[in-house]
């Protein structure tokens, strides 16, 4: 399915199509404004921008910060609501978050039901001018690709009523998120269109390169089956023909015998090749368990925590690629 010959031109074609798209947008800004963004309470595009103050953009959590900062560069001030290292899935908004949204012009979210804290926070901020950008607009969510084995004590990671929200972990879908963010920023802040467009094109080129690297490295490792402890990788798995066969949801602090048995049964049942934990999770029982099963316990980064530098996306994803390559031998 994945061929080598297609790799080279793909980046160039994407860039060309992006630029073509942008040229066509630039010709009809006014007409497109209302459709391109999900503008709540639909304010007219603000013409009276203060020349001295930069546009304030708030983003929800790290991946949205990284992609938005990549597009905005220095043309806008980009803030983050959920501090990296704090769980986005069960996040409780703070008064500072409400203040940040109240004074922002644009809010960028991942969507797909991930930011459960957002509805009430936005409501409390009472910012009628706020433009909301849903970065996952137009992306068809996956639902039941991975089988979830839940242990009794484990809490639910997040409801998948809308679909699995972890689309940013597929470089191709991340590209689509960058495009959504780009359209949204241009519509809300047309003055900086040139900067946004240039920045986005450069970042998309890097995403294309990353995608090529994944394709090349993983093309002979199809159907590599793995178990994770966080249902974060179905999009990545689907893109590169890997199999996230099961998600074992367990508490991070300790494992009960029942939970250990669940993992053992899952690994045997699905002939699992790899077991993936998360960076920063140091679970000795999990390590022992992996040893008993003769599987290496490795870490995959869902990018929900990490460095606030747009390049962190590539750094973390390349480490993920190395991990997958090694684990799927
Ligand atoms: Zn997650």
The whole-angstrom separation of Cα 110 and Cα 244 is: 22
Query: Is there a shared CATH topology between the 7-141+161-209 domain and the 213-327 domain?
Result: yes
Spacing, Cα 217 to ligand 1 middle (Å): 25
Tell how far the Cα of 25 is from the centroid of ligand 1, in angstroms.
34
Contact 85, 79 (CB under 8 A): no
H or E segment and range at residue 217: helix 193-218
Tell me if the domain spanning 213-327 has CATH number 3.40.50.1980. yes
- Tokens 């597009």: give the residue: 71
Query: What digits encode the pLDDT tens for the residues 58-103?
Result: 999 999 999 999 999 999 999 999 998 888 988 999 999 999 999 9
CA-CA-CA-CA dihedral for 300, 301, 304, 307, to nearest 10 = 160
* 3 state DSSP class of 227: strand
CA of 230 to the centre of ligand 1 (A): 6
Angle at 105 between CA 309 and CA 86, to 5 degrees: 45
Of 110-119, 196-205, 283-292, least confident by mean pLDDT is 283-292
Segment (H or E) for 228 = strand 225-228
Ligand 1 centroid distance, CA of 43 (Å):
33
Q: How far is the CA of 167 from the centre of ligand 1 (A)?
A: 10
How is residue 109 written in tokens?
Answer: 């979210």
Q: Cα(304) to centroid of ligand 1, in Å?
A: 7
Residue 243: φ, ψ to 5°: -130, 110
Could you tell me the residue ranges of all domains in the chain? Answer: 7-141+161-209, 213-327
Task: Find the mean pLDDT for residues 225-248.
Answer: 88
Question: What local confidence, expressed as pLDDT, does residue 251 receive?
Answer: 60
- pLDDT one-digit tens code per residue, 115-161: 999 999 999 999 999 999 999 999 999 875 455 555 443 344 444 45
Q: Which residues, by Cβ under 5 Å, contact ligand 1, an ion?
A: 232
- Determine the distance separating the centroid of ligand 1 and the alpha carbon of 232, expressed in angstroms: 5
- The count of C-alpha atoms lying within 13 angstroms of the C-alpha of 63, restricted to the half-sphere facing its C-beta, is 28
User: 285-297 burial, b for 16+ CB within 10 Å, e for fewer?
Assistant: ebeebbeebebeb
The region of weakest confidence among 141-155, 167-181, 193-207, 217-231 is 141-155
Ligand 1 geometric centre to CA of 318 (Å): 19
State which fold the 7-141+161-209 domain adopts. Answer: Rossmann fold (3.40.50)
Confidence of residue 247 (pLDDT cuts 50, 70, 90): confident
């Amino acid at each position: 399915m994945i061929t080598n010959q297609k790799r080279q031109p793909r980046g160039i074609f994407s860039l060309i199509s992006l630029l073509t798209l942008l040229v066509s947008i630039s010709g009809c800004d006014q007409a497109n404004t209302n459709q391109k963004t999900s503008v709540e309470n639909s304010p007219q595009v603000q013409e009276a921008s203060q020349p001295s103050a930069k546009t304030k953009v708030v983003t929800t959590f790290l991946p949205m910060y990284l992609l938005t900062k990549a597009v905005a560069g220095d043309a806008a001030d980009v803030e983050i609501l959920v501090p990296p290292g704090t769980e986005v899935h069960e996040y409780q908004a703070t008064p500072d978050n409400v203040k940040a949204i109240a004074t922002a012009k644009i809010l960028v979210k991942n969507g797909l039901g991930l930011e459960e804290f957002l509805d009430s926070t936005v409501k409390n901020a009472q910012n009628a001018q706020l433009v909301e950008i849903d970065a996952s607009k137009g992306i068809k969510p996956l639902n039941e690709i991975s089988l979830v084995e839940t242990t009794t004590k484990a809490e639910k990671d997040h409801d998948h009523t809308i679909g699995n929200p972890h689309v940013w972990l597929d470089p191709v879908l991340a590209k689509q998120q960058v495009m959504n963010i780009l359209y949204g920023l241009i519509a809300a802040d047309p003055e900086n269109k040139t900067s946004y467009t240039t920045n986005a094109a450069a970042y998309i080129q890097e995403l294309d390169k990353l995608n090529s690297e994944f394709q090349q490295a993983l093309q002979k490792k199809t159907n590599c089956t793995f178990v994770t402890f966080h249902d974060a990788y179905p999009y990545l798995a689907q893109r590169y023909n890997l199999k996230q066969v099961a998600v074992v949801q367990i508490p991070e602090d300790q494992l009960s015998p029942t939970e250990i048995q669940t993992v053992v049964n899952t690994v045997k049942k699905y002939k699992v090749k790899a077991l993936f934990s998360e960076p920063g999770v140091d679970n000795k029982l999990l390590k022992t368990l992996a040893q008993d099963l003769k599987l290496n316990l490795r870490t995959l980064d869902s990018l929900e925590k990490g460095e606030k530098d747009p390049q962190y996306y590539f750094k973390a994803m390349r480490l993920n690629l190395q991990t997958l390559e090694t684990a799927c031998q």
